[in-house]
């Protein structure tokens, strides 16, 4: 798991750099990544001390706080940076799920890993084609990342409704929290399409 997390961190930094290198100097991108990583580390520490079963959501919350602080300090574009963050965290989570499923012989985590992998490839497909969508008039960067994030949390909501246990799910209320996150990402996508 340590190797999976180290490689996951490297993937996060790589995708932040790859998505943002055209517009920002590498030092800014690296600093944003450090903000996110510090937030994630704090989130993991808090969840281990207080609410171990909510580790996924606490880690995401603290990671987003670090992301927000980094954006404000560095004056970076919200939607472009959020897209880079989503694809970087998706890659990290996919690697973590794969490692967990192999180490614990957990078939459902392996299925979720494949879902994550499919979303990763869908991101790259959308990235190459979203400007051709007639209904997406703004053509702004960020569409692909928001659609993938929205799809990810929508899938989590549906899985939680069937009461299937996944390592990152809350014991109670997972469908509600994932559903609210899905609606939030949908609202952000609508806002982006109107810009």
Q: Which two tokens stand for residue 53?
A: 């079963």
Distances (CA, A) of 119 to 8, 40, 49, 102, 170: 17, 22, 32, 20, 22
Range 145-164 average pLDDT:
89
Which of 110 and 33 is assigned the larger pLDDT? Answer: 33
139 in the Ramachandran plot: left (φ > 0), alpha (ψ -120 to 50) or beta? Answer: left
Rounded CA-CA distance 138/130 in Å is 10
Q: Is the pLDDT of residue 9 over 90?
A: yes
Number of domains comprising the chain:
1
Question: Domain range spanning residue 106?
Answer: 2-194
Helix 55-74 crosses helix 26-49 at what angle (to 10 degrees)? 150
Exposed / middle / buried, residue 40 (Cβ in 10 Å: 0-12, 13-18, 19+):
buried
Q: Give the mean pLDDT of the chain.
A: 88
Of 150, 147, 119, which is closest to residue 135 (Cα–Cα)?
147
Range 92-103 average pLDDT:
89
Indicate the Cα dihedral angle 14, 124, 146, 183, nearest 10°.
Answer: -130
pLDDT of amino acid 111: 85
- What would you report as the CA-atom Rg of the chain, rounded to the nearest whole angstrom? 16
17-63 tens-digit pLDDT: 999 999 899 999 999 999 999 999 999 999 988 888 888 999 999 99
pLDDT of amino acid 131: 65
């Amino acid at each position: 798991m340590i190797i999976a997390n180290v490689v996951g961190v490297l993937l996060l930094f790589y995708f932040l750099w790859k998505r943002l290198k055209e517009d920002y100097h590498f030092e800014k991108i690296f600093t944003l990544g450090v903000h996110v990583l510090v937030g994630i580390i704090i989130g993991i520490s808090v969840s281990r001390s207080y609410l171990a079963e909510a580790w996924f959501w606490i880690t995401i919350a603290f990671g987003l706080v670090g992301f927000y602080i980094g954006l404000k300090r560095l004056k970076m574009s919200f939607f472009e940076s959020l897209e880079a963050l989503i694809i970087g965290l998706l890659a990290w989570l996919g690697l973590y799920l794969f490692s967990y499923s192999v180490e614990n012989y957990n078939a459902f985590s392996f299925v979720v890993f494949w879902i994550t992998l499919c979303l990763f490839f869908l991101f790259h497909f959308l990235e190459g084609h979203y400007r051709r969508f007639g209904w997406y008039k703004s053509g702004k960067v960020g569409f692909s990342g928001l659609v993938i994030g929205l799809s990810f949390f929508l899938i989590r909501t549906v899985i939680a409704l069937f009461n299937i246990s996944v390592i990152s799910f809350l014991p109670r209320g997972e469908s509600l929290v994932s559903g609210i996150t899905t609606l939030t990402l949908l609202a952000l996508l609508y806002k982006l399409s109107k810009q």
